[in-house]
Structure 1
Amino acid sequence: MGRALVFVILGVVGLIEAFPDGAPVDACVRPNHANEPNHGRFSPQSAGTNPYQVIASSDTYGPGAQITVTIHGHDTFKGFLIQARDASTNEWIGSWLEVPNTKIHPECSAITHADPKDKQQAVLVWQAPQTAHGGHVYFTGTVLKSYSTFWSGVISKVGA
């Protein structure tokens, strides 16, 4: 799960700089290149140095449930792409509510930044499908401090 997801997310990183109004939808639905682990000459930073957290209000959901997902850290960041995935199938699931300065990609249950401004935090709201039986969800993606400094494969934790 993790390695394949990292490759998908890595493809998004360069697009954040090239597209300051957010990653385009093809960033999460185009085929990845498993033999290209880096974006250009830049590599993701070590997970142990990640100054950012993705905190979900819950990791369980029922029909139509809403979960708040907050990105924050010790430093500002410029961009992000976060996807919701079913914990048992790894498939994209649910949808995001539109909040200021974001762009939604319903095709792949993703949300991205909509401007290149420095951000202290991003507060996002995910909604489970109305027809869902319930289950577990996790949120994963990339947080970008700058074009050359980013953390991919970031996975949410459940906060208080």
Structure 2
Amino acid sequence: MHKLLNINIIFHFTWILVAVSAFPDGAPVDACVRSRPNQPNHGQARPQPPEKNPYQLLQSSAHYGPGSQITVTIQGSDTFKGFLIQGRDVATNNWIGDFIATPNTKVHSECSAITHADPKPKAQATFIWQAPLNSPGGQVYFTGTVLKEYSTFWSDLVSQSVQ
């Protein structure tokens, strides 16, 4: 009986550790192509209502040329622990460009995305996105998810240009 009880306790403790530490180093690359793109796979948790979103996704320009860079910032009235942001071409809605890796971020070049690399609370995060060198230019927007906590997140955020 004690052995069964000990196994049960170990199982539940291990499950709690896994649940608490799930994706502390960022979203996996498959988050870009799930049936709910740009949304974390956090069990039964679903995005919060857009009208209660405390975060803004800002971009320094909507237009890009070959190799140009655009600054992208997440800011808000509350801290956040995680994010997954993608660059998309306005005309085609296809992934485009690459983010430049910075401390505490991880880049998914396969889908023009950047994610957090630690679960520490953040008041703001700023990234640099770079257009492809062989691109004729166009317009870009940024979209993704910001996580306040594991089960409290806002998805389908779309950037605003601050030109």
TM-score between the two structures when normalised by the length of structure 2: 0.82
Equivalent position to 1:109, from 109, 112, 125: 112
Q: Deviation at 1:16? A: 10
2:49 is the counterpart of 1:46: yes
Amino-acid identity (%) = 64
Aligned equivalent of 1:18: 22
Q: What amino acid does structure 1 have at the position aligned with 2:96?
A: I
- Asked whether the 8 Å contact 1:16–1:79 carries over to 2, the reply is no
Unaligned runs of 5+ in 1: 1-14
2:127 is the counterpart of 1:157: no
- Asked whether the 8 Å contact 1:64–1:127 carries over to 2, the reply is yes
Q: What amino acid does structure 1 have at the position aligned with 2:25?
A: D
Q: What amino acid does structure 1 have at the position aligned with 2:87?
A: A
2:133 is the counterpart of 1:130: yes
Q: Structure 1 stretch 130-139 or stretch 17-26: which is displaced more? A: 17-26
Aligned equivalent of 2:79: 76
RMSD after superposition: 2.0
Secondary structure at the aligned position of 1:107 is classed as helix
1: CA distance between counterparts of 2:149 and 2:159?
A: 21
2: CA distance between counterparts of 1:111 and 1:73?
A: 18
Q: What amino acid does structure 2 have at the position aligned with 1:153?
A: D
Deviation string 1:105-129 (CA, Å, 9 cap, x unpaired) is 0000000000000000100000000
Q: Map 1:85-100; keep pairs closer than 5 Å.
A: 85-100=88-103
Aligned equivalent of 1:3: none
Deviation string 1:17-63 (CA, Å, 9 cap, x unpaired) is 6110001112213x4269xxx95322211111100000000011000
Q: What amino acid does structure 1 have at the position aligned with 2:31?
A: A
2:60 is the counterpart of 1:60: no
1: CA distance between counterparts of 2:55 and 2:127?
A: 15
**Alignment: residue pair count:** 142
2:123 is the counterpart of 1:120: yes
Between structure 1 and structure 2, the one with the greater Rg is 2
Shift >4 Å, 4+ stretches: none
Unaligned runs of 5+ in 2: 1-18
- Asked whether the 8 Å contact 1:54–1:154 carries over to 2, the reply is yes
2:31 is the counterpart of 1:27: yes
TM-score between the two structures when normalised by the length of structure 1: 0.83
